[in-house]
Amino acid sequence: MSATAALLAWPVEAEDDTPLALWRAEEIARATGGRASAPFEVGGVAFDSREVMAGDLFLALRGESADGHRFVEGAFGRGAAGALVETPVLHPHVLVEDTTAALDALARAARARVAPEARIVGVTGSAGKTSVKEALFAALDRASRGRAHRSVKSYNNHVGVPLSLARMPARTRFGVFEMGMNHAGELAALTRLVRPHVAIVTTIAPAHIGHFSGEAAIAQAKAEIFEGLEPGGVAIIPADSPHFALLREAALAHTGPHGGRVVSFGRSDHADVRLLDSVPASSGGSLVTAQLGGFGDGADAGKLCYTVAPPGDHWVINSLAVMAAVRAVGGDLGAAGLALAEMEGLAGRGARHQVPAQDGDGSGTALLIDESYNANPASMAVTIAGLGATPATRRIAVLGAMRELGADEDRYHAELAAPLLAARIDHVVLVGAEMAALARALGKNDAPSLAAGPQVYHVQTSAEAADMLARIGIAGGDAILVKGSNSVGLGALVKALVSKER
């Protein structure tokens, strides 16, 4: 057969008639009930004019502190092809009454137009949701040859989720969406937009607990993700959580009546996707053996062996949730294993850098572990333990305050003393007023001491932490962990250190 004949014989698929453009003006107008000023096509959607790329649709949203309409000219200056606005502008646009409501409408239209066989996954949890979302996307994107879509960064709130949906191409085979919350009722609204076929809860921990009566209330709020499950959907929950029974009951209420299923993951004997063994891999990650069950399709109880590139026990457990989700959507477990073996740390969530030594003769490099984006008591304890297990000449922890912990914030901060001592950290730089309780628990001591335990320094700002780190000195062979709530601003410290990366 000639090349021309082979091309003509290429099988025609339904998706061949799907437009390549993300949105056309008439589609946006139809979805939002708006009126298009002129025909145009867009290849992306953005609400921050600084992030607009050529060919994007700019959303002029009205926020508490800023009105997007003020930045329309700047967005078109950066190459926007159209805008969604509440007042007419001298550029191609779709005019609507309320741009925020129009974004939700565009999100619903995007969710509705993907093919019936497409599979959508929602991910929430007190920690690990971004990591699981990224790992799952990598696994599904590899298997589908680029037809997976996911929410970028941590776009997981009432604006980020609909924005991520609006960015989903009609050709999508798999969609993975992160959903967050800090108040009850928020996830219920988001999950009804996403309408997942698979809903994952990674873990329950006292994140944002200042807005809740306790961890059980957080678990109940996270369980709202099951309310949007499509009929026959799968709920994936942590078997090792003390709130397992609560999560399972909530999941069954939304899966049982509709032919769905609840699948658990973890170390526990009752876990469906159960960790059998985990040993350090030569690459620094972990070699994982897991038993796969809980799907009731005749292929249960098989064993999986794969490598997880990022180090840490939390990544081992997260990988079980990823594998469960891949199985639930009919994905390729082999491709998922390859994706996990190639995963790199995420910026602010475990990325690792080699930074030059600045102390002694300045030779060698130090390992910088960037966990600067977020922190809660559970994730703090896990990453401190990870630092303790990291081979190093000295171990240095720069820890920022944990925010939104409510009346018990002193206790939560002070309880970090135990993992710090167990990890045998050499120097601890504590950042923020809330860290005073931990400084007291450790017995603040910024002078060399023969006593067991770290040298402790308590400062108020990220800039002061940078000065203190310089005072300690970064030597070749050091391992430095930087972790804290994003509002503490330790990302600036990481950025300064990484700018010198070797």
List binding-site positions for ATP.
Answer: 125-131
What phi and psi, each to the nearest 5 degrees, are found at residue 321? Answer: -65, -40
Helices and strands in the chain, H and E counts: 17, 22
- Contact by Cβ (8 Å): 382, 369: no
- Contact by Cβ (8 Å): 385, 419: yes
**Cα separation, 152 vs 140, whole angstroms:** 15
Buried b / exposed e across 393-432, counting CB within 10 Å, b at 16+?
ebbbbbbbbbbbbeeebeebbbbbbebbbebebbbbbbbb
- The rounded Cα 250 to chain-centroid distance in angstroms is 23
Angle at 268 between CA 262 and CA 271, to 5 degrees: 25
Tokens, residue 38: 């002129």
Tokens, residue 142: 């590899």
Identify the CA nearest to 336 among candidates 303, 308, 313.
308
What phi and psi, each to the nearest 5 degrees, are found at residue 493? Answer: -65, -45
Beta bridge partners of 67: 62
CA distances for 369 relative to 304, 348, 357, 366, angstroms: 29, 9, 15, 10
Classify the phi-psi angles of 128: left when phi > 0, otherwise alpha if psi is within -120 to 50, otherwise beta.
left
- Looking at residue 136, its amino acid is L
Classify the phi-psi angles of 470: left when phi > 0, otherwise alpha if psi is within -120 to 50, otherwise beta.
alpha
Answer positive or negative: Cα dihedral of 54, 56, 61, 64. negative
359 exposure class (CB count in 10 Å sphere: 0-12, 13-18, 19+): middle
Residues in the chain: 502
Residues at the annotated binding site? 125-131
Beta bridge partners of 374: none
Residue 77, SS3?
A: helix
Which DSSP symbol is given to 100? H
CA distances for 289 relative to 4, 110, 273, angstroms: 48, 38, 10
